Amino acid sequence: MANDNRNATQGILGGVVALVTGGSRGIGLAIARRLGSMGARVAICARDAKRLRQASEELAGEGVAPLAVVADVTRAAEVAALVERVETELGPAEILVNNAGMGLFGAFHERSEAEWDTVLDTNLKSVFLMSRAVAPGMIRRRRGRIVNISSLAGKNSFANGGLYCASKWGLMGLSSCMAEELRAHGIRVNVVCPGSVATDFSPHSGRNPATLLQADDVAHVVGSLVTEGPNSFISEIDLRPLQKP
């Protein structure tokens, strides 16, 4: 049955251009793989050229040939160059997945201003810059999809999570406002809030990996969102593991 489901979705995106930030590993790589297997023309970006090359080769070996671009999505000039290159080589991005993110944990009063800036720039500012870059074209075409990968930490606080939670709570607010501003133009903005995912993003010390979400679980949700019906709008999805740790 699982194979039947995969075959049913094969090609459903029909050459639609999808741009995934933070696409060199973990959740971003899984999302790129999923969208590519559904027929999208995929572009991925990351800051680490070596990891990006490895991800591109991995995807190509699975039948998904991505456009891989080294870019720092916290810098407006690099964002503009990234979007221009995607448009030139693949076409306008109809799907943008804002996945780039980082975690830095510890007591807030022991964190530096530079660390605050790094986390907020990566997890929040990058979404603003990327979405601002693609939104005008989507508005002109009166179609598009922006999927922001947030976290349950955008709704729940925990000790030593001040910087991370602040960035994700901010992302929730930004996503909600973007959705209201763009829906009149036929553009959907969705936000996905996963719980703990088994990636190298954070150590998950003491946790049984079998009880964590997998990157493919998040990718499955994104694939479902970008294929929802023409008159529906799923604004937000909370994603939790079936088993508690």
Active site residues: 164
- Summary count for the chain: helices (H), strands (E): 8, 7
Please give the backbone phi and psi of residue 96, each rounded to the nearest 5 degrees, phi first. Answer: -120, 125
Instruction: Please check whether residue 28 is in contact with residue 47, taking contact to mean a CB–CB distance below 8 angstroms.
Output: no
What are the two backbone dihedrals, phi and then psi, of residue 98, each rounded to the nearest 5 degrees? -85, 90
> What is d(CA 185, CA 143) in angstroms, rounded to the nearest whole number?
7
C-alpha 33/C-alpha 63 separation (Å) is 9
Residue (of 162, 75, 177, 149) closest to 110 by Cα position: 162
Rounded Cα–Cα distance for residues 63 and 206 (Å): 36
Could you tell me which of 118, 46, 134 has the C-alpha nearest to residue 31? 46
Closest CA to 203 of 212, 192, 216, 193: 212
What is the C-alpha separation between 185 and 217, in angstroms, rounded?
Answer: 30
